[in-house]
Structure 1
């Protein structure tokens, strides 16, 4: 009986000692254990560097990248220069387009002087009509308007640029373009007036409205969606991701 017990305890002792030795002994060299950890650290650092680079190169979620459309929009500072510098392009208020200006400022004065005789009277009449045209041009010039009128001029340009059919004011592209005009107007205002908290809230509201409209457009048509983004200077990651203002 005693012999059996001693034999049993001796086997347990041997097995325990061998398991301890197996745990302490490893075929991998200690320095080789660090290599996977170092590789993991390098990969994480590389991913963070790529994310930072993408973040730096990502367009502004508010203004985006300047495009042909956004550069064509009128700024109040540029419009007010036309009052003193007549060499700059002149713009008309009250939604007077080029065809209306052609009729009012050129054809109508000539029509008024058609029946004037003799030539001396006609020359005086033309001079008189040209003076009236100068006064009228000054009165309806956009440089005499406020910033809201300039924004309305830009909204009309956005509708003309993005409309899918005549008199289209409700399609997703047109709505996104109109909100972009308002966003750029508020963004420029807030750069000069940092304490205008009320308009900060309005800016955030407009940006998120535009984001929701463009997400809807993406569900409707990918082709229209990417064409709209290209014209507005926006990026798909901005629309799909979280916007922080």
Structure 2
């Protein structure tokens, strides 16, 4: 019987937030810091965050689509909920944002299993890349705090590259830069719509990371814990000559 030919793997691409960086846990802690300021100004934290969550995703997409600058996005996300309390004080929105950002971007909290997964990936002769949507300053700060340079060869951040997931070119730019075919790339991410499906549509392999907070379903794909990445990598073949090339 012929031995089954394994798929060659040349590049592993990781999402950053909620895949490597535990943004959900950091956000909980950062909100507690902001709560103290809200209480000082006699603003109910619970109602404030309900309004914040109502507006946030749309504002973030406006930033990703270049309709808002990073600065505008960060301030307006706090300005909108303040307006629900009939508070039209931009300086307070800036103060709340600064409190939130100063705390959040100084944390180094990995998602469960992320450090182990990165260490395993480092053992393979592949290029390792971060592909992330978000403000460049914030994403670079997270990269610095987590000391990700020891694990990764390149970082693709939407604000710097001027293209964001789920656009196909956000993924394909990596293939172009590293001179590899999409089928030899593995996308590792937590978001079905932003990471997994668009990667598959470009021809990449995908590993969907289970998010304990954000519940998503798909008829033919299932999320998995990062600890399962090791067994998935064992199913690939590796182009050992490819690692020595100067690809980027």
Q: Same fold (TM over 0.5)?
A: no
Question: Normalising to structure 2: TM-score of the pair?
Answer: 0.30
Question: Relative to total residues, which structure has the larger helix share, 1 or 2?
Answer: 1
Question: Relative to total residues, which structure has the larger strand share, 1 or 2?
Answer: 2
Structure whose alpha-carbon radius of gyration is higher = 1
